Structure 1
């Protein structure tokens, strides 16, 4: 969400009919540009996620599920780190799943499913992982509670979400203003970590841990992620109405300069990592 979706890139796909799989769209889209941006995101956040999964997967994992798997980067990370017997990546994007299935193995598979509905394929699972997806759901706490019902007894749910994106650089602050406006227009929120941390869990679910880790990508990596995002959704009519084309054009130009290293604009991600056990 995004598993790869960060939770954060292209014009959203049209929503048609009443199919629960197609009823929800990923705000940052699922184009080739979105997929390439998610590849960079996977590299940037791989190590912090790997440490998190490794610490939680101390017991044998038969079935692991990766929610919002995107092109499959996090699914393979979950499989390799948890040593699960089988790992299933779930997403509702046809284009992302086409990419993900190119890397499928005997023990790593991908399936189309709306993660806001249960039961999940292959549930119950010993481990469920989600990175940067709840920020794109309008009812994140309700979704979190729903996911715990898909765990085995003793199974764990692991959540990686943004607590804060820390920056003081004017270019990145202008970008954040735009992305926050985009998400709020969909009833979503980027910095969702503190909201999830304060949420009560349903009966039978124990929160094992909740802590914040800091990830500080190189300025050029920050520029690449933000520039790809902006190129994907900058034509959204709501953004044009709110900010104007001149603002968005200038922002795209300045982010391209960050990518080239001409502007040194740094940012630090404060990532809330939460683990829950079903008892």
Structure 2
């Protein structure tokens, strides 16, 4: 990412990698369905932006079956793990996705999931990434629109996370922003929909517990929230990982953009 872009909020250490594995397992089915319904079949080149450990890269390879996948991330440690666990026709590249040109472009498919929530000026990035598509290509985006829970611990965690991201110029529910933006000239919005995924409270709490441990020492968080409150939140999230009932519902905004032919 560029110097003006904040570091990845959830970090890229071993705990973050463990969390990404859980995220990959949790959202694999809904992402596979989106790709099945919205991606071009057997394209020449697909780019996976912010690939992390390669979970979405492998989904693209399996579901879309492109001739070639280039998976892009700024974390050397994540890319090393991704390479070690991927046998599909995927090439991993260390690159800042806010910098053009993107490796291998123009591409027939560009995909990102849970990436724009960590990047400033998401509307501008949509415009710029679409410029990296081949004629007839498609940019597919899957981002949070809402996360709903009736549990007070979950909701308090989400409040703090939303404030943290806001302090960095990014947005937890970036799907809402993308849904309301005016499409730039020479870009067609070909898909705009939401899909809901209920996740067991215990699994959501495990992801959130690991997140909190990763960013609780952030300067904004340390200044805005007491260590006592953060300790209590950590304890309560840990307790929820053993809960056998309840769900946390993610509403995901699914968007598709193509270069205009007019």
TM over 0.5: yes
Tell me the distance in 1 between the aligned counterparts of 2:90 and 2:219.
Answer: 39
Is 1:274 aligned with 2:255? yes
Contact 1:34–1:232 (8 Å) recurs in 2: yes
Moved more, 135-144 or 193-202: 193-202
Tell me the distance in 2 between the aligned counterparts of 1:92 and 1:112.
Answer: 5
Moved more, 193-202 or 93-102: 193-202
Shift of 1:92: 0.5
Is 1:27 aligned with 2:9? yes
Moved more, 55-64 or 146-155: 55-64
Is 1:89 aligned with 2:74? no
For residues 176 and 265 of structure 1, do their structure 2 counterparts lie closer, same or farther at Cα, with a shift above 3 Å needed?
farther
Q: 2:54 aligns with which of 65, 68, 72?
A: 72
In the other structure, the counterpart of 2:153 is 171
Unaligned runs of 5+ in 2: none
Shift of 1:202: 2.5
For residues 237 and 21 of structure 1, do their structure 2 counterparts lie closer, same or farther at Cα, with a shift above 3 Å needed?
closer
In the other structure, the counterpart of 1:40 is 22
For residues 95 and 21 of structure 1, do their structure 2 counterparts lie closer, same or farther at Cα, with a shift above 3 Å needed?
farther
Tell me the distance in 2 between the aligned counterparts of 1:156 and 1:109.
Answer: 20
Shift of 1:21: 8.0
Shift of 1:24: 4.8
Shift of 1:201: 2.3
For residues 234-249 of structure 1, what are the structure 2 equivalents within 5 Å? 234-249=216-231
- In the superposition, the TM-score normalised over structure 1's length comes to 0.89
Tell me the distance in 2 between the aligned counterparts of 1:258 and 1:22.
Answer: 37
Shift of 1:106: 6.4
For residues 143-222 of structure 1, what are the structure 2 equivalents within 5 Å? 143-222=125-204
Shift of 1:261: 2.0
1:131-164 CA distance string (max 9 Å, x none): 0010101111111111001100000000000000
Tell me the distance in 2 between the aligned counterparts of 1:56 and 1:148.
Answer: 16
For residues 20 and 236 of structure 1, do their structure 2 counterparts lie closer, same or farther at Cα, with a shift above 3 Å needed?
closer
